[in-house]
Amino acid sequence: MKRAFTLIELLVVMAIIAILAAILFPVFVSAKNAAKKTKSISNMRQIGTAAILYMNDYDDTTPPLYYYNANDLRIPSTDGFYYWPVLILDYTKNKDIFHCPNDTAEDPVVTDDQGRSRFDPNNSLYYYLVGANPSYGYNYRYLNQQVMGRDPNGTNPTPYYFIGISGASSFNTASTVMFGEATMKDKVSPHGGGTITNPVGYSRIEPPSRWYGPETSATAWGQLWPRFDAEMVIITWLDGHAKTISKKRLRVDSSTTAIKDRYWNGTGD
Question: Could you report the per-residue pLDDT of 115-136, keeping only the tens digit for each?
Answer: 999 999 999 999 999 999 999 9
The predicted model gives 32-48 an average pLDDT of: 94
Task: Check whether 15 has a pLDDT greater than 60.
Answer: yes
Residue 95 identity: K
Convert 192-229 to b/e letters by CB count within 10 Å (16 or more is b): eeeebeebbbbbbbbbbbebeeeeeebbebbbbbbbbe
Give the Cα separation of 200 and 185 in Å (integer): 7
* Average pLDDT of the segment spanning 63-77: 93
Helix (H) or strand (E) holding 257: helix 257-260
Is the Cα torsion angle 127, 132, 134, 139 positive or negative in sign?
positive
pLDDT greater than 70 at residue 3: no
Query: Cα angle at 244 between 239 and 250, to 5 degrees?
Result: 75
Query: Whole-number mean pLDDT of the chain?
Result: 91
Position 192 scores a pLDDT of 67
Task: Tell me the residue type at 159.
Answer: P
pTM score of the predicted model: 0.87
The neighbour count for residue 264, using CB atoms within 10 Å, is 28
Mean pLDDT on 235-249? 96
- Mean pLDDT on 135-148: 96
pLDDT at position 18:
83
Which of the two residues, 129 and 156, has the higher pLDDT score?
129
Percent of the chain exceeding pLDDT 70 equals 94
